[in-house]
């Protein structure tokens, strides 16, 4: 501003605090006029941001909950994540103009869940150590199923396969079982006629440790080894398969050691998400089928190739499953990629639509691996 005669306050060269930061003031006289220049620097701090910024809030599925003053982030009842799945701290909520955040429950054992958005949506995953090229592609909304592009390297896949067959590995390949037994023999298990693959575990190699941490970073879950099973490596020869099943355990399942609370919705622990690695391509068959998916990307709607129709008896579970694998939504193995699917929602409720199966291999050989992440420390660690 310009004043005739005299000086305005504060005097030139001095600074005084203002509600929004500091005003830098300078004054000089030109031809009898005193010119006063005041510049206010808007400092970005948590207190001022909370008074001046609103954000768009979405629920865990991406449904709009409305706009909100950032002071609402201090209610203590929720956690907030940006579109990259990174947790937003209240003091930094306005660092990005027109910020959009996802609201999740604050409770222990509840975690971020990648919102599927729409079929075919692709998101570059930031913050994964040493892997800048990972992308999530939405394949299914219900259940939430994503293709994880570029999740593992060729070298890592080869190392896991070698570990599965290494005579020095005490958990090398054997007939797959079902039940609560884990890699260290805790729990109960049984050989089932509806699971004909072979499996091994890798719990100690440097490669397995890297993959564990990468899976947790992908899921945005703080890494705790007690929340993961050992990496289960699977081999499916021709005609081998695993009938449809859930990765989570029923709430009331009995365990060998007595009791364990599998009720993840009410403070217990169960399998939260699965990162399923494809270590090889498959000539034909070997898909991962999700028969309850709705809607999904490219449901197969195909018929079984004629040359494979006589592999199984018409009344066998394998024959019926092959048909389902070609008619329902299924994911074809693609080496060095993975799929991510959730067994729980953001509140810990078990998702029955996560039912899935390992389709019979019609020709070739299938190598794959499971990384199971629990919402809290898993059975066998407490």
Q: How far is CA 335 from the centre of its chain?
A: 19
Task: Please list, in sequence order, all residues whose beta carbon lies within 8 angstroms of the beta carbon of residue 2, skipping any fewer than 6 positions away.
Answer: 33, 34, 35, 36
Which pLDDT score is estimated for 380? 83
Average pLDDT over residues 322-337: 95
Number of H helices, E strands in the chain: 4, 25
Domain boundaries, the chain: 2-42, 46-105, 122-374
Which pLDDT score is estimated for 44? 37
CATH number of 46-105: 3.10.20
Residue 8, pLDDT above cutoff 60: no
**Residue 377 vs residue 90, higher pLDDT:** 377
Encode pLDDT of 190-204 as tens digits: 667 887 899 999 988
Average pLDDT over residues 338-342: 99
Residue 250, pLDDT above cutoff 80: yes
CATH number of 122-374: 2.60.120.620
Which pLDDT score is estimated for 166? 94
Which pLDDT score is estimated for 52? 54
Encode pLDDT of 52-106 as tens digits: 577 888 888 888 888 877 766 656 688 889 999 999 876 666 777 678 889 898 8
Closest CA to 276 of 365, 351, 358, 167: 358
Name the pTM for this structure: 0.81
Report residue 184's pLDDT band, with 50, 70 and 90 as the boundaries: low
Residue 6, pLDDT above cutoff 50: no
Which pLDDT score is estimated for 9? 42
């Amino acid at each position: 501003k310009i004043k005739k005669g005299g000086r305005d306050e504060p005097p030139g060269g001095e600074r005084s605090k203002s509600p929004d930061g500091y005003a830098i003031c300078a004054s000089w006289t030109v031809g009898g006029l005193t010119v006063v220049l005041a510049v206010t620097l808007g400092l970005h701090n948590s207190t001022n941001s909370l008074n001046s910024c609103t954000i768009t809030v979405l629920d865990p599925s991406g449904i709009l909950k409305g706009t909100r003053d950032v002071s609402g982030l201090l209610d203590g009842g929720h956690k907030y994540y940006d579109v990259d799945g990174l947790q937003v701290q209240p003091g930094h909520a306005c660092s990005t103009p027109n910020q959009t955040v996802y609201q999740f429950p604050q409770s222990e054992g509840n975690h971020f869940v990648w919102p599927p958005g729409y079929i075919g949506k692709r998101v570059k995953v930031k913050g994964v150590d040493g892997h800048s090229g990972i992308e999530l592609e939405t394949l299914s909304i219900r259940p939430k199923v994503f293709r994880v592009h570029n999740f593992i390297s060729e070298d890592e896949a080869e190392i896991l396969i070698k570990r599965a067959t290494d005579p020095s590995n005490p958990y090398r390949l054997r007939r797959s079982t079902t039940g609560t037994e884990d890699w260290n023999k805790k729990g109960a298990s049984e050989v089932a006629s509806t699971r004909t693959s072979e499996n091994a575990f890798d719990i100690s190699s440097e490669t397995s440790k890297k993959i564990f941490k990468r899976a947790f970073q992908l899921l945005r879950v703080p890494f705790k080894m007690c929340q993961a099973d050992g990496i289960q490596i699977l081999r499916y020869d021709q005609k081998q398969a695993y009938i449809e099943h859930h990765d989570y355990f029923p709430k009331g399942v009995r365990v060998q050691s007595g009791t364990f609370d599998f009720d993840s919705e009410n403070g217990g622990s169960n399998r939260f998400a699965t990162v399923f690695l494809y270590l090889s391509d498959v000539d034909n068959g070997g898909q991962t089928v999700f028969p309850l998916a709705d809607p999904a990307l490219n449901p197969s709607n195909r018929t079984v190739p004629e040359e494979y129709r006589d592999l199984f008896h018409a009344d066998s579970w394998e024959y019926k499953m092959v048909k389902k694998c070609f008619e329902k939504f299924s994911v074809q193995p693609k080496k060095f990629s993975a799929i991510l699917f959730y067994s729980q929602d953001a509140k810990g409720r078990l998702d029955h639509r996560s039912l899935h199966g390992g389709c019979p291999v019609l020709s070739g050989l299938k190598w794959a691996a499971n990384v199971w992440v629990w919402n809290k420390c898993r059975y066998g660690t407490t």
